[in-house]
């Protein structure tokens, strides 16, 4: 009988960089990036929504690519550069252009989905998917907003895409 079948935990060591800071974690191999960000690194800006990869609330950037952190094991992030919502503002506290645009366009209501929306918007712009409102909506469709702030989110992404290039 193998270790997992007996219910024993298998620990792994992982080195990664989060928002410019180096981390080392020794965790159960089944620990998700989302759970470790919130519980291990104490970075609670990344929210847990559906925990199934369907809502986008937990979106972070992994080596510049948007990912649902609830679907990634921390062990898969060995050597990765992770950006969470806490890493968008600069070290002096100046907001990222996408954060500023979300404020200017009132692109959030309750705010629960906002961290994931912000990271997805940064990626959407960096990927060059801002040619039209329809294109933005398509490429942001993995991030759900229960409050229905989609028009404001789309306007914010289009606005900042015109003013900022990563």
Token pair of 130 as six digits? 């801002």
Q: What is the mean pLDDT of the chain?
A: 93
Q: Which residues of 70-105 are buried (b: 16+ CB within 10 A; e: fewer)?
A: bebbbbebeebebbbbebbeeeeeeebbbbbbbeeb
pLDDT of residue 162: 92
pLDDT confidence bin for 93, thresholds 50/70/90: confident
124-133 pLDDT, tens digit each: 999 999 999 9
Nearest alpha-carbon partner for 138 in 156, 122, 150, 152: 150
> Cα separation of 62 and 81, whole Å?
6
122-158 pLDDT, tens digit each: 999 999 999 999 999 999 999 999 999 999 999 999 9
pLDDT of residue 9 exceeding 80, the answer is no
pLDDT confidence bin for 3, thresholds 50/70/90: low
pLDDT of residue 164: 78
pTM of the predicted structure, to 2 decimals: 0.92
pLDDT confidence bin for 2, thresholds 50/70/90: low
> Cα separation of 27 and 15, whole Å?
11
pLDDT of residue 5: 57
Q: Where are the alpha helices (DSSP H) in 58-149?
A: 97-104, 114-126, 133-139
> Cα separation of 119 and 104, whole Å?
17
**Domains (ranges, CATH) in the chain?**
11-87 (3.10.20.30), 97-163 (1.10.150.120)
21-58 pLDDT, tens digit each: 999 999 999 999 999 999 999 999 999 999 999 999 99
């Amino acid at each position: 009988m193998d270790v997992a079948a007996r219910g024993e935990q298998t620990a792994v060591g992982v080195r990664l960089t989060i928002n410019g800071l180096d981390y080392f974690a020794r965790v159960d191999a089944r620990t998700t990036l989302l759970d470790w960000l919130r519980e291990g690194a104490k970075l609670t800006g990344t929210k847990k929504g559906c925990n199934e990869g369907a809502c986008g609330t937990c979106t972070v950037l992994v080596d510049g690519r948007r990912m649902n952190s609830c679907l990634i094991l921390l062990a898969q992030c060995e050597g990765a550069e992770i950006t969470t919502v806490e890493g968008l503002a600069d070290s002096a506290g100046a907001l990222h252009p996408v954060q500023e645009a979300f404020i200017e366009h009132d692109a959030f209501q309750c705010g629960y989905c906002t961290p994931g929306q912000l990271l997805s918007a940064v990626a959407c712009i960096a990927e060059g998917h801002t040619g039209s409102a329809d294109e933005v909506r398509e490429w942001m469709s993995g991030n759900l907003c229960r409050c229905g702030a989609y028009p404001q989110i789309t306007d914010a992404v289009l606005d900042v895409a015109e003013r900022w290039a990563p």
